[in-house]
A and B are shown apart, each in its own frame.
Chain A
Amino acid sequence: MKDIIRAQLRQARRTTMLYIIFFLLAGSCAVGLLNATVDGASASAVTAGDGKLIAAFSLMFLGTAASWICGADLEDKTVNHEMTSGRLRRDVYLGRVIPAMAVAVTGTMVLMFMVFGITTALVGWGHEIPLSNALLRFALMVFPLLRLGAFSSAVTFVTKNRVTGFMVCLYAAMFSLPADTLPFEWLRDLLGNYLLLSPLTFGKLCTFDSWYVYGCADLKMHYIYYPELSGSLIAGIVIVSLIMTAVYLLLGYHFFHTDDLK
């Protein structure tokens, strides 16, 4: 299995598409964040205010990487050749899922860290939210990212199609957005009120409870953020994410295990 993992990582390193997506997303996110700092806002202010949108954008890389690594060899039948040459299905599956999730999660974390890092270097962190809290939230993002990576990988194995895996991941990423940032009212209603999927996901880590006041002379708003995370929320994020990661991987493997070689 190790050689398959190594091969997949080498293949990922040479996939130009992943680099293009990564730098396109990094560029557009950085421009978006820096644009938000034009009126003097600090990095912590834009993180608290617009961080959720940047983070949701970054999930596009997660979907791309996970579905690309899992799906490429399914589409060109490399997987079939491996199994007909005596490889265990378990090795073939994990040999793709593990590097896919590793590249997807690491790449997404690096992308976010880079964008927020550049912004901080240019305009300073500021005092809207403590850096330690932002770093804690950043570290906790690994868990929902693993969950989404596993979901995308499993879907790719079921459909044997990279685009489906990516699209489904992208759709799932929308559940991570806080309902009030969604563009259409019907979508806000659907995701905000009628789905069980929102409370313990990525979106919770990107959103800061806030209060604002303003002056009547210029209507300039001043935000107060409440960045603390409760212990139960942290535990919920970690436990539910790990359980669902295992469930998705198990479902994906079970399907792949009994699937025909077509």
Chain B
Amino acid sequence: MSETIVITSGKGGVGKTTTCANLGVALAIQGCKVVMVDADIGLRNLDVVMGLENRIVYDLVDVVEGYCRLRQALIKDKRVDGLFLLPAAQTKDKNAVSPEQMKELMMALKEEHDFVLVDCPAGIEQGFKNAIAGADSAVIVTTPEVSAVRDADRITGLLEASGFSKPELIINRLKPKMVARGDMMDIPDILDILAIDLVGVVPDDEYIVVSTNRGEPAVLQESSRAGQAYRNIARRLMGEQVPFMDLTEKESVWEKIKRMVKLG
């Protein structure tokens, strides 16, 4: 059984591409055959985050327009077996493909892979419509900010109107300390508004910036907490029951002293 999952958010910069890259790698490590599709034509990023930019010869638009065969455009990951990337075109724009063409492409990709992950562009226009065409299910990424949640809500509505029955939610970049202080939206607050199933919470992790710049997804780093969260989400996508991580961080010695001074 294979599945096409579109990773979307409405708002930009909440971590769609990072999520896509990490879930792709995590699923492939679990032994699945995975292909990641960058649907952000004109503003491609997934290849950079994956560190595969210099291997691109053909792209999604070339495939759709018939300049090359699908197999030629798929880039094999350099670290993990069974992981492929279909890069977006950089010199074209979103109108270069139609939802019908995307549907056809997704069907072809599904035949040979267990998971097709589609990295959706920000926004609700043509690019979004292309990305969701041919997808079986959707994962919505949001951060604990009112604006991101607002956009996630809008996207949920649009997805439901397009026939997606149960979009799932990933809350990204949660800072447990800020939540504890009451300075950041908490998980229940977000779920209260969106009322969709939560598939994972990814804590804020500075290592993500490092990994993005290096082109090495964080899931490959054992010690990364965000990487751990993504590994758990991947297993949940595969149908496993995985308990949610305990996100409360241990106090450092310095913080303990500060607290004691305050108390005293």
Asked whether A and B interact, the reply is no
A residues apposed to B, CB below 8 Å: none
